[in-house]
Structure 1
Amino acid sequence: MKKEIEFKIFTKNKGFTLSVNIVVYSLLFIGIGIAYLAREYLDNSTIENLGQGVGILACMLMIYFKITQASKRKSLNGNLNKKLRFRTREILIDDLKIELNEIKKIEFYINDYFDKWESQAGGDFAPGRTNGTSNVCELTLINGHKTKVNFQLMYENEFLKMRELLLQYYSENKIHFLKLIEYLGIEKYEEIQEFKKTLPPTLAISKMG
């Protein structure tokens, strides 16, 4: 068995991040607000025209960003300086070592990889390609404490390199069978039955409940 699998931990920047959506919608609502106030309360056509101009500019920016942002990658807005390491008997979150016998449950949420294209709603003007950092590892410890980290995957199905370690964690009752087959991408009934046959008898019988 491969003794260690490593991923980069994503640490998000703290504080406010200015996005394309915030810019264009702020301009749109400001323009509409100025035009409305000028017409209803100020009776000033110049200011009303200014508001309409700001609104038109916002609409033009929406069209521009909708066309150009689809092919761009989202900004990282964080760093990848720390490491997430999985080993047979322990998991390391950078310098924090957690022994397997301290862990009650291991869960993953895998739905992202570098340069993945995401379909977007009509009113979303953010970049259409991801940076692969939305994946999550959550550890529930025996003492009740939970630890959650985001980590990066560089290509589709990269997580499958964890197969042997996932089977090890499953054998230690740290991962439920239904979660195991989800992580391994085993979905069809026939594939599940075949996979069960590859498990040692004690695992196939005792761990699937």
Structure 2
Amino acid sequence: MKTFDIYIPAKFYWTRTRIIYAIITMLILAYVAVKYLFVIPKGEPIYTWLGYAIFATLALGFISAVLGIPKIKPIAGKLKGVIRFQEEGIYLAEMFYPIESIKEIEFHGVDWQGLFQYAVFSDYFDNRLSNGSGNKLMMGMTDGEKIITRFIKIYACELADLKPIFLSYYMKDKIGYLELVDNICISDPEEQAELKKMKSVGLRVEEELKRHNY
């Protein structure tokens, strides 16, 4: 049975970028303290040492950033249980939610292991390949509750492995057309048209059954 690891992010975690920024900040504060608090005269060796230390830290950061281009970022948090999608409902770890209790299903985030991520200030010196943890399953329940669960995808169209199950959700109005097409990677126009046709035929059959009190 296909499953997806549930990811619980840590509230705070040290990354390579955060460590380098912390060291540089401490070195700059030390420089300011030496110059204005201890009033050490210019030309003293300590200024040169601090300058070298800042330069060496930055150089180490840039080298590690280059070496990290082909590497996946480590998981910052923990994996706890799995998501199992079934026609009769969805398991979140040990909790089972019958499909009748779910009003709508949405997915947020387009992420998978190995996805290249461009550097930003907050992760400038970190590895450049994603660990796939940037995905969220959002379930709106019939009682008004909203359940949000982060999970990991190994490859881009991994949800498409469960296409029959998601089609059953679609026919039960639990997931929208665009949501379905995007997440199970249906790009063929003919297949997209067939999906719309399936839904319209299903609705007509349902209305006919109701009209005859079946």
TM-score with structure 1 setting the length: 0.82
The match for 1:49 is 48
Task: Give the paired residue count.
Answer: 202
Q: Secondary structure at the match of 1:72?
A: coil
For residues 171 and 189 of structure 2, the distance between their equivalents in structure 1, rounded to whole angstroms, comes to: 22
Q: 1:201 to 1:155 in 2, by over 3 A?
A: same
Residue 126 of structure 1 and its aligned partner are, at CA, apart by: 1.0
The answer to whether structure 1 residue 11 and structure 2 residue 8 are counterparts is yes
Q: 1:174 to 1:195 in 2, by over 3 A?
A: closer
Task: Indicate the RMSD between aligned Cα atoms, in angstroms.
Answer: 2.8
Paired residue type of 2:4: F
The match for 1:102 is 101
Alignment of 1:30-69 (within 5 A): 30-41=26-37, 42-44=39-41, 45-69=44-68
The match for 2:115 is 116
Paired residue type of 2:18: I
The match for 1:165 is 165
**Structure 1 residues 182-191 or 100-109, which shifts more?**
182-191
In 2, are the aligned partners of 1:109 and 1:135 still within 8 Å (CA)? yes
Residue 105 of structure 1 and its aligned partner are, at CA, apart by: 1.1
Residue 15 of structure 1 and its aligned partner are, at CA, apart by: 5.0
Larger radius of gyration: 2
* Cα deviation digits, residues 164-193 of structure 1 (max 9, x gap): 111111111111222222223345867643
Q: Which consecutive unaligned segments of at least 5 residues does structure 1 have? A: none
Paired residue type of 1:34: A
For residues 46 and 53 of structure 1, the distance between their equivalents in structure 2, rounded to whole angstroms, comes to: 11
In 2, are the aligned partners of 1:107 and 1:139 still within 8 Å (CA)? yes
For residues 120 and 187 of structure 1, the distance between their equivalents in structure 2, rounded to whole angstroms, comes to: 29
Q: Secondary structure at the match of 1:50?
A: helix
Q: 1:199 to 1:16 in 2, by over 3 A?
A: closer
For residues 93 and 192 of structure 1, the distance between their equivalents in structure 2, rounded to whole angstroms, comes to: 29
Q: Secondary structure at the match of 2:114?
A: strand
